[in-house]
Structure 1
Amino acid sequence: MWKAKAATFHREDEMTRSIRPLILTGVLIAIFLTSRSQALGDDRDSKQRALFETFLSEFVSIRPGEEGFPDSLKVESLPPDDVQETRTVIIPFTKPFQISKYEVYQDLYEAVMGENPSRWKGPRNSAERMSHGDAMEFCSRLTTILREEELIGETQVVRLPTEMEWLYCARGGTETAYSFGDNPRLESDSGVQASRLDDYAWHTGNAAGNDPAVGVLKPNPFGLYDIHGYLWEYCFDDWSKEFPGGRTAQDDLFRSSNSTEATIRGGSWKDPYPLLKVTSRKPFPKTSGDDAVGFRCVLVGASAK
């Protein structure tokens, strides 16, 4: 009996010795894979944080009333009835805010939303083909992320610009049809050509698609790129034919309980030069997307830093 048990123990001991290296190897592999996964996760987190830091570094501070920044916006009122005459409305600007130099680009959009709906792919190309609701959701998610990363204060918010904020920034302190002057063309231009505009904007006269990266052309006087053309840009406001309507302040919004249309401004690469004026605006279905429609962000609220 004792010899039989001893033989059994001996066989089990040999088996243990034979599989011990396999167990050790498995443990080492598991440790390696776990460490590698953590390293990849840390690297991915580090790259995303760097992306968010870059995004925040690309904002321009708008300080109404200070040098170079008007304390009001002159708007030619668009009445709801075409029979009525237009009139000039003065909108006071008193609150500082920040606006992105660039339209939201694709690697940033994908980092926040987990997808890239754009037709014209490129990490620094403007993101397009999202709905107005998607753009609003992007801003909400990004606000949460930036607060969690302690990159912005708890009272700061990333959102779409109001129509008033967008127009103020697009003008860049000017009162001309375009931020660089009234005439987008040279005498030698014909058809859709607009040689002066070419320095600042992508439009039907110089673009075959939404291929370029953001910021390739010249900025407006406030340092904003692609504010004319490239992509139509979503505003926070619902669409209203009457503009500015009852809005009397820079952050006043038009809201309609039954609105199905958002406001887009600025023209795009699909449009001829007259539609790239700073006053250019039109309605766009809230649930739709297009490869000529994107957005840029503003940052509002006091910083805790």
Structure 2
Amino acid sequence: MDGCANEEMAAVPGGRVAPADRLTGRGRPVDVAPYLLGTVPVTREWYARVTGERPGDGGAGTGRLPAEGVSWWDAVRFCDVLSRREGLAPAYRVDGDRVEWDASADGYRLPTEAEWEHACRAGTGGQRYGPLDEVAWHRGNSGGRPRPVGGRRPNDWGLYDMLGNVWEWCWDAYDAGAYGAYRVLRGGGWFDEHWNCRAPVRRRGHPTYRGGDVGFRVARSHPAPAHGAA
């Protein structure tokens, strides 16, 4: 399949996942409730329609490329603007440099780290949900640039580009005690070697960071998970 509707959301079943701890390398089991997740990362075209801004080079024919060069704060704002446009309750309440997640809201949000890894694995126990070149754009096959979303094979839950193409922002702080406001990035990107394009790999980024290989996808609670704040 060469592309799919960017607004399409997949129903992700509940389950249990154990993201690895940064220091110990051991996972702590986390129960994940059912939720909805975008089948592909947010594209430049969709981002521009919602926000009026054009991430990336903004050139012709690039609409199906992932919206890269967006910060965690950009992603949070996108979610709230999109929620209001669709008549949904925004998931985030922003007060200066603080944002609180309203778990009772039905609007769009970023996935938690546990939700992201659970969705990426799609019930499999391995490092990847298929052979690397079949499921991911990475340094070895991307040609040194981001690629249109949905161009590789999806996982068993119909989710594309969970590995490779762009790193994806998650809601969670990376390690607040050691890194303060830094947030979790997952999935690996088009410039990464194969070892970064694995389900358990984590990266951190300041919430204002706009990297050329960093994007995001949206989630919605289905039903709402536990409340969180940052």
Per the normalisation by structure 2, the TM-score is 0.80
Aligned residues between the structures:
204
Give SS of 2:28's match: strand
Report the RMSD for the aligned CA atoms in angstroms: 2.5
* Structure 2: segments with no counterpart, 5+ residues: 89-103, 225-230
Give SS of 1:279's match: coil
* Structure 1: segments with no counterpart, 5+ residues: 1-53, 65-70, 80-84, 149-153, 181-195, 241-254
Q: Which amino acid aligns with 1:72?
A: R
- Relative to structure 1, is the Cα distance of residues 76 and 262 closer, same or farther in structure 2, using a 3 angstrom cutoff? closer
Partner of 1:177: 127
Identify, as 1 or 2, the structure richer in strand. 2
C-alpha distance after superposition, 1:267-291 (max 9, x if no partner): 1011000000101111112212112
Q: Which amino acid aligns with 2:168?
A: E
Partner of 2:31: 92
Query: CA offset at residue 173 of structure 1?
Result: 0.7
1:155 touches 1:302 (CA, 8 Å); kept in 2?
no
Q: Distance in 2 between matches of 1:63 and 1:78?
A: 26
Q: Distance in 1 between matches of 2:119 and 2:152?
A: 17
Q: Distance in 2 between matches of 1:268 and 1:259?
A: 24
Q: 1:166 aligns with which of 116, 119, 122?
A: 116
- Relative to structure 1, is the Cα distance of residues 178 and 160 closer, same or farther in structure 2, using a 3 angstrom cutoff? same
Query: CA offset at residue 96 of structure 1?
Result: 1.5
C-alpha distance after superposition, 1:135-184 (max 9, x if no partner): 11000110111117xxxxx941100001010010011111111122xxxx
Percent identity of equivalent pairs: 30
1:125 touches 1:210 (CA, 8 Å); kept in 2?
no
Query: CA offset at residue 217 of structure 1?
Result: 0.8
Identify, as 1 or 2, the structure richer in helix. 1
C-alpha distance after superposition, 1:64-103 (max 9, x if no partner): 2xxxxxx311344333xxxxx543422223x221001100
Q: Distance in 2 between matches of 1:88 and 1:297?
A: 25
Within-5 A mapping of 1:249-288: 259-288=180-209
Q: Distance in 2 between matches of 1:77 and 1:260?
A: 17
Per the normalisation by structure 1, the TM-score is 0.62
Partner of 1:108: 46
